[in-house]
């Protein structure tokens, strides 16, 4: 917790020691997801999360996130849940339905309990845009989602004690 002036700021840290994290990822766009998953796992381990405290849950696609994230968040087994997926716009309105419902459902899952659920779903227009966000030699979003999960786990823990 930081104190600046007359206020106290609650701030999260990226310390993963003792943290239990669920990573829910899709089979759809599996090559892109695999890159984000690897970066996510590497980052969690670098920050002190042990292999035994990471549970991976594989689902078919992004439309299945709402139920799976809700069940994981409400289980109280995890300090944070990370939803990893990628929805690429196509020629039909399918993208709008899947991306929109995934976002709505993941938000709902996060609000359903006291466990933060990280929206780690790329919603892009092209496969090229997805790779720009998932390539190991660039700014891989999987690592960012891992850090966000640890930070939110710490913030949530602190807020529960206030």
Task: Give first-to-last CA distance, the chain, whole Å.
Answer: 11
List, in sequence order, every beta strand (DSSP E) within 34-116. 54-59, 80-88
Extract the runs of DSSP E, i.e. beta strands, from the chain: 2-4, 7-9, 21-26, 54-59, 80-88, 117-124
Angle of the 65-74 helix axis to the 94-111 helix axis, nearest 10? 10
- 77, 94, 136, 138: the catalytic one is 94
157 contacts: CB under 8 Å, gap ≥ 6? 79
DSSP state of 83: E
66 forms bridges with which residues in the sheet? none
Active site residue 94: yes
Helices (H) and strands (E) in the chain — how many of each? 5, 6
Catalytic positions: 94
């Amino acid at each position: 917790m930081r104190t600046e002036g007359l206020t106290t700021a609650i701030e999260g840290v990226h310390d993963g020691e003792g943290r239990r994290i669920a990573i829910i990822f899709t089979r759809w766009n599996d090559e892109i997801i695999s890159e984000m998953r690897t970066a996510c796992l590497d980052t969690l381990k670098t920050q002190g999360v042990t292999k035994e405290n990471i549970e991976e849950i594989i689902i078919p696609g992004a439309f299945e996130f709402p139920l799976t994230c809700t069940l994981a968040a409400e289980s109280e087994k995890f300090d944070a849940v990370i939803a990893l997926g990628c929805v690429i716009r196509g020629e039909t309105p399918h993208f709008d339905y899947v991306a929109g419902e995934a976002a709505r459902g993941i938000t709902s899952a996060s609000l359903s309990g006291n466990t933060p659920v990280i929206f780690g779903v790329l919603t892009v227009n092209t496969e090229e845009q997805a790779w720009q966000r998932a390539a190991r030699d660039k700014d891989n979003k999987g690592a960012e989602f891992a850090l966000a999960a640890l930070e939110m786990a710490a913030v949530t823990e602190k807020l529960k004690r206030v």
